[in-house]
């Protein structure tokens, strides 16, 4: 089995404007990675990987836009370095065409529907199947918290996470977008494959 030791990437940033960023910092710590909260665009210069956490995409989007070029700087960061987006993070990385509140960064060739499983009360946890040529098939735990659904994805996008025959995670080049939260269960595998 291939082992995914995260050695190459020195410092990983976690966008820390709103949402579940603390758990991601803890996962990175667990993996022996040095990590850093990112609150301003100038801090992107210091990191070689970024996590956009779950939370509320409209709020994260509004906070990003307090700084004029933050969104644009993340987009240009994505040309060189991997980004992992969970839930609201995926929403922000996707292509959103008709959402009046959130304009996405258009980093992933993926269309999502926000809040597709219903409201907070409809949130749930489940086993998610991970399948890809580059690792052994496995199940991990994840929570779907007012989660989006992946409606469609482009040809260069590889689905690798599945729940009840639906795609809930994709890889696209060096980036990963997932609709669920693995960090709540201390699941580290997705962080490992994204930043190895
Ligand atoms: N429903 C939220 C949104 O649209 C996402 C929820 C989450 O990140 N867990 O931003």
Q: Which residue range forms the structural domain that includes residue 47?
A: 11-195
**179 assigned to some structural domain:** yes
**159 assigned to some structural domain:** yes
**173 assigned to some structural domain:** yes
Given a contact cutoff of 8 angstroms between Cβ atoms, the answer to whether 130 and 189 are in contact is yes
pLDDT in tens, 164-196: 989 999 999 999 999 999 999 999 999 999 998
Given the residues 175, 183, 187, 194, select the one marked as catalytic.
Answer: 183
For position 102, which CATH number holds? 3.40.50.880
pLDDT in tens, 84-109: 999 999 999 999 766 677 778 999 99
| Total domains in the fold of the chain | 1
pLDDT at residue number 135: 93
Given a contact cutoff of 8 angstroms between Cβ atoms, the answer to whether 39 and 73 are in contact is no
**4 assigned to some structural domain:** no
- Ligand 1 site residues (CB inside 6 A) read 54-57, 87-88, 91, 114-115, 145-146
Residue 50 has pLDDT above 60, yes or no: yes
pLDDT at residue number 133: 92
pLDDT at residue number 1: 46
Note the pTM of the prediction, 2 decimals. Answer: 0.93
Instruction: Write the CB contacts of 65 (distance below 8 Å, at least 6 apart in sequence).
Output: 71
Does residue 137 have an active-site annotation?
no
**166 assigned to some structural domain:** yes
Atom number in ligand 1 closest to CA 60: 10
Instruction: Write the CB contacts of 75 (distance below 8 Å, at least 6 apart in sequence).
Output: 105, 106, 107
pLDDT at residue number 103: 78
Given a contact cutoff of 8 angstroms between Cβ atoms, the answer to whether 61 and 103 are in contact is yes
Ligand 1 geometric centre to CA of 7 (Å): 31
**78 assigned to some structural domain:** yes
Report the SS3 class of residue 44. helix
What mean pLDDT is reported for the chain?
A: 93
Given a contact cutoff of 8 angstroms between Cβ atoms, the answer to whether 182 and 23 are in contact is no
Widest CA span of the chain, in angstroms?
Answer: 45
**6 assigned to some structural domain:** no
Residue 147 has pLDDT above 80, yes or no: yes
**62 assigned to some structural domain:** yes
pLDDT band at 8 (very low <50, low <70, confident <90, very high): low
């Amino acid at each position: 089995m291939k082992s995914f030791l995260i050695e190459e990437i020195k410092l990983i940033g976690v966008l820390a404007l709103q949402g579940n960023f603390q758990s991601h910092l803890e996962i990175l710590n667990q993996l022996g990675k040095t990590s850093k909260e990112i609150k301003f665009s100038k801090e992107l210069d210091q990191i070689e990987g970024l996590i956009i956490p779950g939370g509320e995409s409209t709020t994260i989007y509004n906070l990003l836009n307090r700084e004029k070029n933050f969104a644009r700087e993340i987009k240009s960061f994505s040309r060189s370095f991997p980004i992992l987006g969970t839930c609201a993070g995926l929403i922000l990385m996707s292509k959103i065409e008709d959402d009046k509140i959130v304009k996405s960064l258009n980093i992933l060739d993926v269309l999502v529907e926000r809040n597709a499983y219903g409201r907070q009360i409809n949130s749930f946890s489940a086993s998610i199947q991970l399948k890809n040529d580059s690792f052994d098939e496995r199940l991990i735990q994840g929570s779907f918290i007012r989660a989006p659904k992946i409606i469609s994805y482009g040809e260069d996008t590889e689905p690798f996470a599945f729940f009840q025959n639906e795609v809930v995670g994709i890889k696209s080049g060096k980036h990963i977008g997932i609709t669920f939260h693995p960090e709540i269960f201390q699941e580290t595998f997705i962080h490992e494959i994204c930043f190895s």
